Structure 1
């Protein structure tokens, strides 16, 4: 069978599902958000001073980063789960979150004395960050990997990795409400490592469970 015929067959199979794939992704995302919220509020919950913190730029900027990552990953994974769908534009949007973080880090280096760079990078919660972002994100990752099986991705490892990025962006959004370290230096380092853990798990899950 030619590659084009195989893609058409996979697309037809994905289109014949009981629930349209596009709608199924939104349902799955809602379930994933619910799971992440339950884990978050049953474990660490929001920081006590969250209301005053919401008036600071550094605190709110964390959500700009994490939500941008989640939104761009969601758009890409939906495209990757549909055979023959165009992915170039969605792939290009994946640079948005890293670019925003990079700009924030550069600004931080300009406004913060050099003597404080190390303290802001290390922060006070790096181990909690690297533990709880994967913990909050593992349930959503399982949901997203299940959705990839519901679809028909032609690049399962890549799709699994993007599922990890999506789960990481979602989990990091919840964790940001708890985290007392608001410096972009901390976010760029430890949030990235924590999300990378979920990305690696997603790629492995794509290889093991999403192959066709």
Structure 2
């Protein structure tokens, strides 16, 4: 067998993929868990869990909000992982984030259109629009540090884009933590002000990516 044929056979074999080092998944889980725990502790100390959370959890709008944020968490996590694989196809990745956003915006627009005119401003602005994005951004900081540390252990090549994806994932996780405190349920509010809060760590991740993710 020629050397070139041997190389081609090994490269196309089923066992080519490099296995992660022993304990890699445990370490990754510990890093992300520490960031999540720090975010929850920050929320509990500075904001507190909503006293009527049990009553809110009985409402469909609460689970629509939580489901929307979870979808963004999963989509951003997948996008971030793909951007850490050199040469991986990323053509369809924007759709993963765009789909839940478009669905939430469509639901918000439908609710606003059907609401009486005097209620539309309240449905969009709510009572916490001034603080909501800033609080989500604040809660995302320990998560952003954890996510960037995890991504640095992989092999991102487009550092600014990978940093932005990591920042969006951190912002989505922070928004999920913020759901334990936030009283707002309107789709129009969540689809705008929550996302605005997620964009702050996204921008921060994009700025830090070239420095934090470089080998």
Say if 2:46 is the partner of 1:43.
Answer: yes
Aligned match of 1:70 in 68, 73, 98? 73
**Equivalent residue number for residue 209 of structure 1:** 212
**TM-score of the aligned structures, taking structure 1 as reference length:** 0.84
Give the helix-richer structure, 1 or 2.
1
**Equivalent residue number for residue 160 of structure 2:** 157
Say if 2:178 is the partner of 1:175.
Answer: yes
Say if 2:26 is the partner of 1:58.
Answer: no
**Equivalent residue number for residue 6 of structure 2:** none
SS of the counterpart of 1:127?
Answer: coil
More moved, 106-115 vs 41-50: 106-115
Q: Is the 8 A contact 1:69 1:96 kept in 2?
A: no
C-alpha separation between the residues in 2 aligned to 1:200 and 1:136? 15
Gapped regions of structure 1 (runs ≥ 5)? 1-14
Gapped regions of structure 2 (runs ≥ 5)? 1-17
- In the comparison of the two structures, how many residue pairs are matched? 200
The Cα RMSD (Å) is 2.4
Q: Is the 8 A contact 1:28 1:143 kept in 2?
A: yes
Q: Is the 8 A contact 1:22 1:78 kept in 2?
A: no
**Equivalent residue number for residue 188 of structure 1:** 191
C-alpha separation between the residues in 2 aligned to 1:30 and 1:88? 30
C-alpha separation between the residues in 2 aligned to 1:168 and 1:144? 11
C-alpha separation between the residues in 1 aligned to 2:30 and 2:76? 16
How much has 1:144 moved relative to structure 2?
Answer: 1.0
**Equivalent residue number for residue 36 of structure 2:** 33
SS of the counterpart of 1:46?
Answer: coil
**TM-score of the aligned structures, taking structure 2 as reference length:** 0.83
